[in-house]
Amino acid sequence: MQPLPYDPDAPRKAANLSVNSDLMAQARELGLNVSALLEERLAAAVREARREAWLAENEQAVSEYNDRVAERGSFGDRARRFWWRSRTVTKSPWGPAIT
């Protein structure tokens, strides 16, 4: 589960919104909690806007990192190669064994 992009315990603030009257009437008729629904959708929109802003802000760094990994490999690649090279191969009746 992702952390919320806001403080859910912050006090509520009244807001005046303009909403299509037919849409609001249908929502009330269906028993929808418009405030909770708006808060849920607004939180998702804030999270997505922050994500897009972060990606735009860090686009160059991410691109440079990806280029470096493509050129040199990742730390995990180097660690695996080191680990496999550091293993000793011994002979056994069943074939080589890595220890």
Mean pLDDT computed over every residue of the chain: 86
Tokens representing residue 82 in the block:
């080191």
Instruction: Give the helix/strand (H/E) hosting 81.
Output: helix 75-86
Under 8 Å between Cβ of 99 and 88: yes
Q: Is residue 49 part of a domain?
A: yes
Instruction: Calculate ∠ Cα 74-75-79, nearest 5°.
Output: 120
Q: Is residue 89 part of a domain?
A: no
Which residue in the block uniquely carries the two structure tokens 């220890």? 99
Domain count, the chain: 1
Q: How confident is the model at residue 4 (pLDDT cuts 50, 70, 90)?
A: confident
Regarding predicted confidence, which is higher, 85 or 12?
Answer: 12
pTM to 2 decimals? 0.63
Q: How big, in percent rounded to 5, are the helix, strand and coil portions of the chain?
A: 60, 5, 35
Q: How confident is the model at residue 24 (pLDDT cuts 50, 70, 90)?
A: very high
Read off the pLDDT of residues 69-97 as tens digits, 9 standing for 90 and up: 999 888 888 777 777 676 665 666 666 55
Give the domain range for residue 44.
Answer: 21-73
Q: Using a pLDDT cut of 70, give the percent of the chain over it.
A: 81
